Amino acid sequence: MGLKVYGVPMSACTARVLACLHEKGLEFEFVPVNFFGGEHKQPPFLEKNPFGQIPVLEDGDLTLFESRAITGYIADKFKDTGCDLIRHGDCNKAAVVRVWVEVEAQQYNPAIRPILYQCFVVPLIGKTSDQKIIDESLEKLGNVLDVYEARLSKTKYLAGDHFTLADLNHLSYTFYFMKTPYASLIESRPHVKAWWEDISSRPAFVKVSVNMKFEAN
């Protein structure tokens, strides 16, 4: 049995996993989930992920959920295929990659995610975005990006001079953020802007991003 991904192409977390698979040049089966029809909350899907969220990866008898755990698994299992996203050959470099993977999850994501929720999801369900939440989150994100700007003034990518999982995990959320009226937070920081233009133009992500159709209101 080969790799199988359950998800929705426009989902940022699904896109994160798909970008990782394409970076590795791996063959996989994509199984669309009827998200708006509530398929992810039905018993068959809940057997795969009891939290009823996408994406899910199946690799033979192994079933995984949580997109960052999935990309980490792909990077480790297929370390000799495609781009080495962890820098497995050097323990110190691999440790730095894992530090910045955690930074994305613990610092960047909590700041950017509320902005995207207010700009994309809230209007989709017929409600009015809360500008106070957006403004507070923009301040937090700006502080994180100041750290990134300093880091990227010294290295081409977050974990050094090679593209790694630390960069890849930023792609999908940042892609949607750049569709909001607040993209200047990225564009006003020259090293962050250059980094974003670099990683977002990688063929693996370009292939994924064509199916990311959400538009901000």
Lookup: tokens for 31: 């199984």
Structure-block tokens of residue 85 = 């996203």
Q: How far apart are CA 199 and CA 206, in angstroms?
A: 10
- In tens digits, the chain (217 residues) has pLDDT values of 599 999 999 999 999 999 999 999 999 999 999 887 878 889 988 999 999 999 999 999 999 999 999 999 999 999 999 999 999 989 999 999 999 999 999 999 999 999 999 999 998 888 999 999 999 999 999 999 999 999 999 999 999 999 999 999 999 999 999 999 999 999 999 999 999 999 999 999 999 999 997 665 5
pLDDT for 215: 60
The string of DSSP letters for 200-213 reads HTSHHHHHHHTT--
Report the chain's terminal Cα–Cα distance, integer Å: 42
Tell whether the torsion through CA atoms of 184, 170, 214 and 118 is positive or negative: negative
Instruction: Give the integer Cα–Cα distance in Å for 2 and 78.
Output: 13
pLDDT of residue 1: 57
Residue 29 has φ and ψ, to the nearest 5°, of: -100, 130
Report the predicted TM-score, pTM, of the whole model to 2 decimal places.
Answer: 0.94
